Amino acid sequence: MIWIPVTVAAAAFQVARNAAQRSLLTGAGPWGATLVRFLFGLPFSLVISAVALLLFETSQTITPVTLAWAALGGAMQLGATAALLTAMQRSSFALGTAFQQSGLPFAAILGLLFFGDHLSAVGWAGVLLASAGLIVLSWPGTSEATRDWTAAGLGTLSGFCFAISANAFRQSALALDPAHPIPAALVTVAIVQAMQSAALTTWMFLRDRRSLASVLRSWRMSLGAGLFGALASAGWFVALALSPAGPVRAVGVVEMPMAALAGRRLFAERVSLRQWLAGGVTAVGVVLAALG
């Protein structure tokens, strides 16, 4: 059950990373802010993976299967991150995080259909309850602007892409070294971030040099986002190597109250009573999913 505290820690680091990325949106745009997560996180991920290999006294052989799953997960994560940041910009930091959690049922269903990841009845009940809470939580009120529907659509797309990436990352780590899941997961993080950094940097150099320059000028804040991103990714990948994607995504919903508090303190955002109650229902679902 070590994957549960690891997931909670990953969620906390992810909130910190998202807050730093959101602050970079104005100058760098969604793709520039997305690049920060991977390019500035890569050096930290390389160090973390090297330390893990030394501590566990093991080495892995990278196979085409590992690279294929890593490439699929990396591509889905790139698109998901850009969609998430745009959703946050169009709604709020807390609600953007809530929209992202729509990946919870997708992750559980994809894991069952394609990878044979099975949950108990209690686990499925938790997934369904948490999903219902998320729907209520992210539903725009009658006074909210139409743009919130756009944010909800982008957030749901983000959740679906994150669900695909979570299952792909799990398969990549298992293909690398199923006997040593923790170092395999951390090496997979470095592989994925190297792919993402190279692909997105090349694309931005060819298509959007202004945003790329903005990212490089903001290197101090970008380093902080990169560090938090590397720690968050390490936590998520380790948890996914130890448990199916559905339960991991369910426990990861603890990110929502953290994001609500961060949004209130950093961006002066408010969360309604309806959203707090829905968050409570979601939390009960998270507990059930973890127990299942």
pLDDT tens digits, residue range 104-116?
Answer: 666 777 777 777 7
Report d(CA 125, CA 185) in Å as an integer. Answer: 28
Report d(CA 222, CA 24) in Å as an integer. Answer: 8
Token pair recorded at residue 53: 């290999």
CB atoms closer than 10 angstroms to residue 143: 5
pLDDT at 263: 62
Q: Residues 79-91: pLDDT tens digits?
A: 887 787 777 777 6
**Pick from 81-95, 114-128, 198-212, 261-275: least confident:** 261-275
The parent domain of residue 256 ranges over 3-291
> How many distinct structural domains can be found in the chain?
1
pLDDT at 185 over 60: yes
Query: Average pLDDT, whole number, for the chain?
Result: 79
pLDDT (mean) for 64-78: 93
Burial string for 15-50 (b: 16+ CB within 10 Å, else e) reads bbbbbbbbbbbeebbbbbbbbbbbbbbbebbbebbe
Chain centre to alpha carbon of residue 164: 11
Higher pLDDT, 280 or 122: 122
Q: 145 pLDDT band (50/70/90 cuts)?
A: very low
